[in-house]
Chains A and B, each alone.
Chain A
Amino acid sequence: MTEHHPDDEPTPDEARSKAPAGDAAIEAAVESIAFHPVFDVIAETVSADETPAGDKATKSKKERRAGATLRTFLLSRGFSRGLGVVGETLITLGVMVMLFLGWQLWINDVIITNESAAVAEENATKWTSSTTPTSTSSEAAVIDFGPAPVMSKVANTKVFGNVYIPRFGDDYIKVAAEGVEAEGTLNRGYFGRYPDSQLPGEAGNFALAVHRSGYGDPFQSAPMLRTGDLIVLQTASGYYEYRVRNTEYVMPSQVEVVNAVPGGANTAVVGQSVMTITTCNPELGNAERLITYAVMVGWRPKDAGPPKEIESMVKA
C-alpha cells in the first residue's frame, strides 16, 4: 500500500516545490495560522457587532466576507515576505545584542585590562627608586619617615599613581587618575579621584571611584576586602599606606560618603587622613554603591623602597 494517489490534487506544498525552501516553509506556517479556527471566531465577532440580530442572510454573508478578507491577506505573498523581513530583522538585532555583550564583557574587558596593566607597569618602573635602601628591612619597619607630603594636584584625566591591594593577588596593580568622568579615567579601568575631595597626605578624605565589573574588572573582588587589609598608593614621590577600616552599602545619592569626614561634615579634621572608594553594587548593576573606607597609616618615600607586603608586586 502506498501513500501516494496519482489522481489526488497536488497539495499546496507540492505546487510550490519550485519556490525556495525558506519561502515555502514560511508560507506553510502562515497557512496553518490563516486556517486556524480563531479567525472564524473573529469573523463572527466582526459581523455580530455590525449586524442587527435576526438578519441571518446578511450576517452570514458579512461573516464570510470578513473571514475571506483576512485569509486573503494572511495568504498573500506580500504578507509572508513582510513577516520574513520582520523575523530576519529581529534575529539580526538579537545577534547584534549578543555580539555587544560578548564585546563588552569579554573582548573589551581583556583589551582594557592589558592597556591599564601596561600603564601601571610603566609607572612602577618610572617611580621606583633604583637606589637600594640602605637600611635592612627589620630596621625599615620601625623608621618613621615623618609626615607624608601632600601630593600635588594633577590636571583632569592625568595619571598620578598606582594602586596596590595585596588581598586581590600579587598581580593586582591598577592606575589612579584625576577625575571621575567615564571617558579618560573610569572607562580605562582606572581609579578616578573625586576632584573636590582632598589629596593623599592632606587631612581629610582622598575619595576615589572605580568600576566594579567590566572595563578590566578593576574592583570586582571588593567584597573580599577585610578590615586591616593594605591598600598602597604609589606616586612619583613615594608610597601612601592605607588600611581598610570598614565597608558600607549606600544609595547613589548619598554624596556625604566623599565628604572630608566620610558621612559627616565636609570640613577636614587635622590629623585624620582617610580614603573612600566608591564602586557600583550589585555587580553588573547600578542600584547602589559599595563604599570602602580606609585610614592612612603610613608613608614611605620613594628611596626607602615599597612596603614589605607589596615588594614583590612593585616591579623595579
Chain B
Amino acid sequence: MYVALWKVLPGPLWARILIVVSGALAVLAALVFFLFPWVDRVLTQSVVVAS
C-alpha cells in the first residue's frame, strides 16, 4: 500500500520526501482537530450519577 503510494509520487527524492512529510502533517492535523475530538465526545467517561 505505502510502497504503491511511494511509486506514484512524482519528482526527485527530495520532492517525494517533501510530499510525504507534508501529507503526514496534514493527516495528523486532521486527526488532532477533527477525528480525535469527535472520538473523545463519543467515548467520554461519565462522572454523573443517573438512572
Instruction: Name the residue on A nearest B50 (C-beta).
Output: A255
Q: How far is the CA of A284 from the CA of B39 in the complex (A)?
A: 16
A-facing residues in B1-51 (Cβ within 8 Å):
1-3, 28, 31-32, 36, 39-41, 44-51
A226, chain B: closest CB distance, angstroms: 22
Tally A-B pairs: CB < 8 A. 69
**Pair A182/B3 contact, Cβ less than 8 Å:** no
**Pair A253/B1 contact, Cβ less than 8 Å:** no
In the complex, besides A84-B1, A186-B44, A255-B49, 14 extra interface pairs with C-beta distance below 8 angstroms are A23-B3, A88-B1, A100-B31, A100-B36, A103-B32, A107-B32, A108-B40, A186-B47, A187-B40, A211-B45, A255-B50, A257-B49, A278-B47, A285-B45
**Pair B46/A286 contact, Cβ less than 8 Å:** yes
**Pair A209/B48 contact, Cβ less than 8 Å:** yes
**Pair A182/B49 contact, Cβ less than 8 Å:** no
Interface size of A in residues (CB-CB distance below 8 Å): 39
Contact of A289 among B1, B40, B41, B49 (CB under 8 A): B49
Contact of B49 among A89, A96, A187, A252 (CB under 8 A): A252
**Pair A253/B46 contact, Cβ less than 8 Å:** no
Q: Which residues from A are CB-within-8-Å of B36?
A: 99-100, 103-104, 108
Q: Which residues from B are CB-within-8-Å of A174?
A: none
Q: How far is the CA of A252 from the CA of B45 in the complex (A)?
A: 12
Q: How far is the CA of A149 from the CA of B40 in the complex (A)?
A: 39
A289, chain B: closest CB distance, angstroms: 6
Instruction: Name the residue on B nearest A88 (C-beta).
Output: B1
